[in-house]
Chains A and B, each alone.
Chain A
Amino acid sequence: MAISVKQVEQVAYLARLELTEPEKQLFAEQLSSILDYANKLNELDTEQVEPLNHILPIYNVFREDIVQPSPPREDILSNAPLVEDGQYKVPRII
């Protein structure tokens, strides 16, 4: 199945990934070829098969609701590209 450049642009927007024009062309071709390969799965009838989301029979894992210590704020902020007054700084949102 062929993926168009327009579809690539939509997906890139959803993924918050700015692409150059050559990248869009390349991904249109490459995603098409990978999805063609993935269509091999349609050889199998899976109508009656339950999807396997996770290999272990684990659902919710709870712990006691006890407050645990948090790491110090300065540690958490130590890798942030931009910090002001002990908070992350980002461009204007509204």
Chain B
Amino acid sequence: MELYELTCHELKEKLDRKEVSCQEITQSFLKRIDQVEEQLKAFVTVTADLALQQAEQYDAGDAVPGLGGIPYGLKDIICTRGVRTTASSKMLENYVPFYDAMVAARLAEHKGILLGKLNLDEFAMGSSTEQSAFYPTRNPWDLERVPGGSSGGSAAAVAAGEVAYSLGSDTGGSIRQPAAFCGVVGLKPTYGRVSRWGVMSYASSFDQVGVISRDVRDCALVLNAIAGHDPRDSTSVNQPVPDYTSFLTSDIKGLKIAYPREYFQQGVDSEIRQLIMNALKHFEQLGAIVEEVSLPHSEYALPAYYLIAPAEASANLARYDGVRYGLRDLQAENVVAMFSRSRAAGFGPEVKRRIMLGTYALSSGYYDAYYLKALKVRRLIADDFTRVFADYDLVVAPTTPTVAFKIGEQTDDLLTLYMNDILTVPINMAGLPGMSLPCGFVNGMPVGMQIVGKPFDEGTIFKAAYAFEQSTDYHKARPTLGVNK
């Protein structure tokens, strides 16, 4: 078995026992990137020289616990000091931050090895990574299919063994949906659990940084490294961070799991529904109590999201004006023309669409009818979850309504594309933690089960996910990087 095929904790064991060096591990991943990246296109930037330099330093210094010496990748929306950070947008094609995002700094302090920056839908707006201004990323399980999005590069790179783990960001499903499509573990922590400082903002009341990994233990290790309060992000919460690996016990006797009937209805592939029902039976056999519940406002989450998120995006993306950073139209004679033309040239179609929609929803005369209405519906959706969590520990549902679709298949039909997020968006609306965990295959493509917890109770998610994973084999399956007929 090659080193790049191992999980973080397996690599760490070998590294700590000095069976292998950090340089050998890093070279194994770089070789793998060389082999598959031309087909996969998961990276925007590969930082091979930097990685080898960091690995050499690691081998020369003292061992660092946790994730020390383990190679990783970052979604290219997370600022890295001295390493180009593009948001997969022409607007920021040459942008080189002079500071690290808080999460990037944390992983650097842990002496992790940065292999590069991973592709995404431009400014994290999309569900397929086809909205990258550079190129679409491909799904390692079938190169003709999308990896999901917006953290598509982050998920594809982990699934293909190009990095040991990665960070992504999740506004409406952007970690969980690509994790499901690529057959890996994806965790969106509770809103406020991880600092957003230095991560380019899309919709600030939903955005949350999270983890993509090969198994549940790796996911817990990475959350240990990045969770916690950061005074520079006023929405990061000052609450103690437990050791998430302490929840990996496999004991779920008496755990109360709810499954919402609205997530098993029309529009969700029947084979996916069946796989989740099988998983629920499996939880019962492991000693959990499983019952059906209702989250009655579920169907309103998506239309509310597509008003609130664009509204916040239109405000956040106002900063790209060609003055302080990013693309500038140098021909424009006055300032308004410079702003308008720089933005026209720098942004792609989906970003423009959301800026337009958000500006409209916030404009005088439409604010109450659209934006305020959506915020009221947001409360109804959050209240649905609060009621269920009064009686249950976890909510389990499918992550996506379908398996990964073909590249180009959905790009003409906006509402169909937006429907990809229908099962993940409500969790962002309520700010809850949610994980996608591999739970089977439909026609050779991976399927994800979504496990949602109470606010700041990622621990119980880890407990259930670990129990499921350790008594099944789905996490051991690896893609062949071919075309799945």
Task: List chain A positions with a Cβ less than 8 A from chain B.
Answer: 3, 7-8, 11-12, 14-19, 23, 27, 30-31, 33-35, 37-44, 46, 49-56, 58, 61, 63, 71, 75-76, 78-82, 88, 90-93
Contact = CB atoms under 8 A, between A and B. Distances in A.
A48 B430 CA distance: 19
B163 to A, nearest CB: 27
Contacts of A41: 300, 303-304, 307, 373-374, 377
Nearest to A17: B343
B332 interface: yes
Interface stretch (B55-63, B378-386, B401-409): B378-386
B369 to A, nearest CB: 9
A46 B332 contact: no
Interface string B364-399: 000000101111111110100000000000000000
Which of B324, B347, B356 has the largest number of chain A CB atoms within 10 A?
B356
Interface of B: 94-99, 191-192, 205, 231, 234-235, 237, 297, 299-300, 303-304, 306-307, 314, 318, 321-328, 330, 332-341, 343-344, 347, 352-353, 355-357, 359-360, 363, 370, 372-380, 382, 414-415, 430-431
B70 to A, nearest CB: 29
B382 to A, nearest CB: 6
5 contacts: A15-B343, A16-B340, A27-B356, A42-B373, A55-B430
B227 to A, nearest CB: 15
Chain B contact residues: helix, strand, loop or mixed: helix
B414 A92 contact: no
A45 to B, nearest CB: 10
Contacts of B359: 11, 14-15
A52 B357 contact: no
B95 A50 contact: no
Contacts of A3: 360
Nearest to A88: B323
The 8 tightest CB contacts between A and B, nearest first, are A55-B431, A51-B375, A81-B328, A79-B325, A52-B379, A46-B376, A61-B234, A75-B98
Contacts of B330: 81-82
B341 A82 contact: no
Contacts of B97: 79
